[in-house]
Structure 1
Amino acid sequence: MKLFTYCSILWLLLNLSVERGECNNLSTTALIRNQLRLLEKVTEMLASKRQVVFHAEVGTTHQTFQKDNIWIYDKVITNVGNAYNPSTGKFTVPTNGIYQFHWYTLSDPKKLAHAGLFVNGRMKARQASNNSGSSNQWITAGSSIALPLKKGDEVYIRSVNAAWPTHLRGLWTAFGGVLIN
């Protein structure tokens, strides 16, 4: 929208100068220089609007994590901007902005899966999948949070239950995020 506005104003100024007979070499040169400066600014604005979005799942059939272990979502579905690392399980913020994150956990029957979303080692949100039912009961938990983050911040999910290891089911356990502003 800003590009359209800038170009429209420039077009209007050029046409007004020509209509009023004020189009000489100096005014034409100045208008062209202004147009080039505006186009450079618009190009910079568009280049700074990076798209960032990722979604990854636990790709294996079963994963077990101890407390304080970062959960590894190794099956990457989307990674626009390449900010999510499936080897470490960490999302490294590529540009300042507000990010929306989501994570879903499917725990094994009769097992627990307490997930915390961490930014630079500090927990910002959590969820619990307390599956203490029968051996055929599957419990899924999900959560979401929007956070203002700075370039270089690290975001990840890890176990927060001190007493028991976390047992996760693949393909149903996911983590993702998107730059929203």
Structure 2
Amino acid sequence: TLKELELQKNELEKLQLQQQQQIQTAVKGLFSLKVRQVAFSAALLVSGGEIIGPFNTDTNLIFKNVIENIGNAYNPQTGLFTAPVRGAYHFEFYIHGPGETSHGSGAALMKNEQLICIAYEQQTSLWVNSANGATLLLEVGDVVFLRQWKNTKIGDNNNNHNTFSGHLLFIM
């Protein structure tokens, strides 16, 4: 009868809607799984040795030697990490430079244009090392990067003394 056909049609439409919702949920789950996999480590130089600085102004550092870049949120052309999802992220960095009376070695961890923390060391001879890190709540599109302080020197070579790393702890 016509009424039975109408009921069957309604049932079929419900099943199709449920199937579409299940597919959408599965796709979201796959996207969410992929986005949860965000981690990077990069060193300053791809090869060779170099003293960087001193500069007259604070200067953004570009870590060109990508060790890992899971999720591709770090850009080795700009030195910027861009948050792909809202979440808690942890960053750490290591700075190495020449010991000199007139110049220390230092850099700042920046979130957008906000200074978060610094690593700085100065001594009169040999080489200096400093490190720091922070956990940050980032919104989608927030950028995190390192900025070398003005009037400082950073030295690196094939041993990758200067590194910048970060990873997503959890989505919020």
**TM-score, L = length of structure 2:** 0.75
Separation in 2, partners of 1:129, 1:39: 54
CA contact (8 A) 2:90 2:135 kept: yes
Could you list the runs of 5+ residues in structure 1 that have no partner in the other structure?
Answer: 1-24
Residues 1:169 and 1:48: Cα distance change in structure 2 (over 3 Å): same
CA contact (8 A) 2:88 2:169 kept: yes
- Alignment coverage as a number of residue pairs: 151
Structure possessing the higher radius of gyration over alpha carbons: 1
Q: Write the mapping of 1:48-87 to structure 2, written as runs, cut at 5 A.
A: 48-49=32-33, 50=35, 51-59=37-45, 60-65=48-53, 66=55, 67-87=57-77
Post-superposition CA distance 1:92-114 (Å, at most 9, x none) = 11221111101001111224112
Alignment pair present for 1:125 and 2:117? yes
Following superposition, which runs of at least 4 residues in structure 1 exceed 3 angstroms of deviation? 28-40
CA contact (8 A) 2:105 2:128 kept: no
- Alpha-carbon offset, residue 80 of structure 1: 1.2
Alignment pair present for 1:102 and 2:123? no
Could you list the runs of 5+ residues in structure 2 that have no partner in the other structure?
Answer: 1-7
Other-structure match for 2:153: 166
The residue matched to 1:180 in structure 2 has which SS? strand
Other-structure match for 2:4: none
CA contact (8 A) 1:108 1:169 kept: no
The residue matched to 1:73 in structure 2 has which SS? coil
Question: How much is the aligned-residue C-alpha RMSD, in angstroms?
Answer: 2.4
CA contact (8 A) 1:54 1:176 kept: yes
Separation in 1, partners of 2:43, 2:51: 11
